[in-house]
Structure formats: C-alpha cells, structure tokens
C-alpha cells in the first residue's frame, strides 16, 4: 500500500463505518416454513390440549409471530439472506470497504457468510461479474467487507453496479426464555384478536411483548 493511501498511518476507510455508504438493501431469502414455537408450547399457552382442529391456522399464526419478532428485533431466528447495492463512490477508500447493514443482531459477529461479491461491467447490456473470494474478507469488528482491489471495468452509468449477497445465521438469543415468552404472548394476542377493532376502551398490558423484547432491541445511533 502506498503512503498516499493512508491517513495517520491507517488505510483510508479502515477505522470508519458510515452506515449510509450503500445505495439500498434487500431481503432476498427467508425461512417461511420452519416452526420456532413448538406445538407443545402453543398448546400449553392456549390450553388447546388434544385439539387438532386448528392445526393449519396455528401453524400459519406461528410463522407470522416468529417473523414479527424477527422484524421487531432485527434478529434472525432462522438464517436470512440479504443483498446490498453500492455505487462507485464506495471505491474511494483504500482498501475498498463495503458496509453490511443487516448484521446488528448477528451471532456475535461470527454468523455472517458472504455468498458473493459481484459487479456489473461496462458491456451493453451490463454483465454481472463475480469477484473471486480470495480478493476479500469479512471484518466482523466493523461489520464490513474489505476488498483488496476491484477492476476498473465497473459500470459507471448504473446507480449501484456493485452488490453483495450474504447470509445472517440464526441468533442464539432466539432460544432465550424471555424471547420465547414474548413470542407466546404475541401469539396469544394474534389468536384472540383475529381482526382490527374499533373498541376505544382497549388498553395495552403494561408488562407485555415490547417490555420483554426491549432490552434485546439494538439502539439506532
């Protein structure tokens, strides 16, 4: 690395993390089938012992409950795949650093698997080119992908010609009793309230789902 590529003895971009360095982020794959709350836990919660007449409905409700908890916490109870898009302005730092936004609740930073780093070239129409995995590594201390170098043939007309696919692994917090209890409380609420209501006398239970989950919800800085 040339001296001109460093600042105060450190590579440009190495010690900073700008969460807005990407253009957009998409969720491209999510587990829509695996149960989180077991049938036994659900039956205990609802007192529906030996009643299988609602099995299909309860399964769909369990899935909705689990995904609502995931969305609230930003935490994958089961593995989830994201795609993040970057503009060519991301290439200003040396080495090139690509921030990965959806890793706040990853398993201690180690639950990230980089599926691919790709860029569109200057062909017409542009072709997506895969960067060899030997050219980059994931920095769990900064939640970013550090790339040794990228070709100069990256498309300069597209808004976001560079994109990264990565998988966020299941978080062990999902097995915590407090998280499970919040899931069961939300499940009970959805089971007992199957539509919106205009009843203005309803009050939120003070010690409810949000109270149980709030300590595990990351702060947005």
133 shares its domain with 122: yes
**205 part of a folded domain:** yes
144 shares its domain with 200: no
Domain encompassing residue 50:
32-75+176-216
25 shares its domain with 38: no
DSSP, residue by residue, 108-155: TT--EEEEEEEEEBSSSS--EEEPPGGGEEEETTTTEEEES---S-B-
98 shares its domain with 162: yes
Give the sheet arrangement for strand 128-130, strand by strand.
24-30, 80-86, 162-168, 112-120, 128-130
Q: Taking 80 as the threshold, does the pLDDT of residue 89 lie above it? A: yes
89 shares its domain with 22: yes
Tell me the pLDDT tens digit for each residue of 129-175. 999 999 999 998 888 899 988 888 999 999 999 999 999 998 888 89
104 shares its domain with 194: no
70 shares its domain with 164: no
Tokens of 99: 């921030």
The three-class DSSP label of residue 27 is strand
Q: Are strands 80-86 and 24-30 parallel, antiparallel or unpaired?
A: antiparallel
Q: What local confidence, expressed as pLDDT, does residue 199 receive?
A: 65
Cβ contacts of residue 74 below 8 Å, gap of 6+? 102, 104, 105, 217, 218
86 shares its domain with 143: yes
Q: How many structural domains compose the chain?
A: 2
Q: What is the pTM of this model?
A: 0.80
* Residue 207 φ then ψ, to 5°: -105, 85
Tokens of 27: 């969720």
Tell me the pLDDT tens digit for each residue of 38-59. 999 999 999 988 888 898 999 9
**221 part of a folded domain:** no
Nearest-10 Cα torsion for 39, 40, 41, 43:
80
204 shares its domain with 126: no
């Amino acid at each position: 690395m040339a001296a001109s590529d460093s600042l105060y003895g450190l590579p440009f971009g190495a010690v900073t993390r700008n969460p807005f360095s990407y253009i957009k982020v998409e969720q491209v794959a999510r587990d829509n089938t695996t149960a989180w709350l077991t049938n036994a836990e659900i039956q205990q919660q609802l007192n529906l012992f030996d009643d299988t007449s609602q099995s299909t409905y309860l399964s769909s409700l369990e899935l909705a409950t689990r995904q609502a908890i995931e969305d609230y916490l930003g935490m994958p109870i089961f593995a989830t795949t994201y795609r993040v898009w970057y503009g060519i302005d991301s290439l200003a730092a040396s080495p090139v650093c690509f921030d990965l936004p959806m890793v706040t609740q990853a398993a201690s930073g180690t639950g990230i698997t980089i599926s691919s780093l790709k860029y569109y070239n200057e062909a017409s129409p542009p072709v997506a080119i895969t960067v060899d995995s030997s050219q980059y590594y994931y920095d769990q201390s900064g939640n970013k992908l550090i790339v040794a170098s990228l070709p100069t043939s990256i498309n300069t007309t597209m808004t976001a010609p560079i994109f990264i696919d990565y998988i966020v692994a299941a978080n062990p917090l999902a097995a915590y009793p407090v998280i499970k209890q919040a899931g069961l409380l939300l499940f009970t609420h959805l089971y007992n309230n199957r539509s919106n209501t205009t009843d203005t006398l309803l009050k939120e239970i003070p010690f409810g789902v949000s109270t149980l989950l709030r300590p595990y919800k990351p702060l947005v800085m």
